[in-house]
Structures are given as C-alpha cells and as structure tokens.
Amino acid sequence: MQEFLESIENSGFATYIRETPSVLGYSTVLALHTFGMAFLVGLSGVIALRVLGVIPELPLTPLKKLMPIVIVGFWVNAITGVVLTSLAIVSLSRNWDFYVKLASIVVAIVALTKMRRYAFADPNARDDAPSSPEARRWAKLMLFFWGLAVLGGRLTAYATYIRIQSAAAVVVAVMVLLLLARFLVRYFRARATTMASSSSTLSTRKVEARV
C-alpha cells in the first residue's frame, strides 16, 4: 500500500504540479480549489439560510436555479482535490485531520442533496412559505459539516496539538459569531418591521387628511 501511495506521489504529473516554478502549477490548482469551495459552500450556504428562515424575503423556488453552479463548484473541488491529494498523499494518508475533512465533505454533500429534495419538493409552494422541518434539519447539518470541512482543510498542515487547540477555539468563535448573526438578523428584521409600520401609518394619515 505504502509503495502504491509513493508511486502516486512521485508520478510525473504530481511532481510537475508540485515542483514547477510556474504559477500555473500548484498555485493555480489551489486557486481553482478555492473558487469551487466559494461557489459550492457560498451558494449552498445561502440556500440553507433561506431554508432556515434567516432571509424569509428571498423566494425559495428560484434558488433551485442556482443548483447547477453549486454542482459545478463541487466537481471543480472534487477534481482539484484529487490532484492536490496526489501531491502529498503519503503524509495525508497518516493525517487524521484529512479523514475528518473527507468525512465532513461526504456528510455535507448528503445533507445538501437531502435539503434540496425536501426544500424544493413542492413546485407550487408560495415564495414566502416556511420550509419543512426535514429541510431545516438537513440545512443545519450541512452548514455544520461545511464549517468542519473548511476548518479541517485549513488545519491539515498543523501539528495535532494545534489542531485540538484550534477546534476548541473554533467552538468559542462559532458561538460568538452565531450570537452576532442572531443579533444582526433581529436588528434588520426589527428595522424592516418599523419601516413597514411607519410607511403604513404615513399612508393612513394621508388618506385621513384627504377625507
């Protein structure tokens, strides 16, 4: 097994991508991996936020049109991910963090598929209709595992004790960010409600003035 992995890592293709001084080698493959992640996680994350009711004003059904871009993002990530893995497959095969990342991606993709199925199940659903509890459950799971996959991907280069410290720090950071996001959502909703009620009061006063 070890010899097989070494043969992949020392293949002509892997050596070229790893060692070429051109920016079109390793750096560009890494950049494509980032583009794929931004579109895959970013767009599916926005769909999940709508499913969870964070942005209820956004119509749900047209979000389905974004799925092809999400799928392209996934395949760009999958292909560049295989290339990047082949460059250091021997050390990655001994890195538990790498397996956490891979497992997180698998769970996130399954959750994305399930969320899509439940969220867009009814084509005649009203745009402002809340999503089903199943869709919300899968959306939460997907967001959590995307976060874990991103963290796992970033930490593969670090020593084990740094990864453990990072995981603890992330738990705290996520709690703070969630509280901040909750505050932002409430603030913008309250502002929208105030603006709506003040505009309706104004129009009522105009009608009264005319009468």
The number of beta carbons lying within 10 Å of the beta carbon of residue 85 is 16
Q: Which is nearer to other proteins, 22 or 203 (CB)?
A: 22
Is residue 125 a contact residue for other proteins (CB under 8 A)?
no
CB of 1 to other proteins, least distance (A): 29
Longest dimension (CA), the chain: 90
CB of 106 to other proteins, least distance (A): 19
Judged by CB under 8 A, the residue of 90, 175, 178, 184 near other proteins is: 184
User: Residues 58-77, buried b or exposed e (16+ Cβ, 10 A)?
Assistant: eebeebeeeeeebeebbebb
Phi, psi of 107 (to 5 degrees): -65, -40
Q: Give CB contacts under 8 A, 24+ apart, made by 131-136.
A: 131/50, 131/51, 131/52, 131/53, 131/60, 135/51, 136/51, 136/52, 136/53
Say whether 166 sits in a helix, a strand or coil.
helix
Q: Which is nearer to other proteins, 24 or 211 (CB)?
A: 24
Stretch binding other proteins (CB under 8 A), from 4-12, 79-87, 109-117, 155-163: 155-163
Judged by CB under 8 A, the residue of 15, 42, 113, 182 near other proteins is: 42
CB of 199 to other proteins, least distance (A): 14
Contact 142/112 with Cβ under 8 angstroms?
yes
Is residue 71 a contact residue for other proteins (CB under 8 A)?
no
Is residue 89 a contact residue for other proteins (CB under 8 A)?
no
Q: Locate tokens 């920016």: which residue?
A: 23
Q: Which is nearer to other proteins, 8 or 72 (CB)?
A: 72
Q: List residues binding other proteins (CB under 8 A).
A: 23, 26-28, 30-31, 34-35, 37-39, 41-43, 45-46, 49, 55, 57-59, 61-63, 65-66, 69, 147, 150-151, 154-155, 158, 161-163, 165-166, 168-170, 173, 181, 184, 188
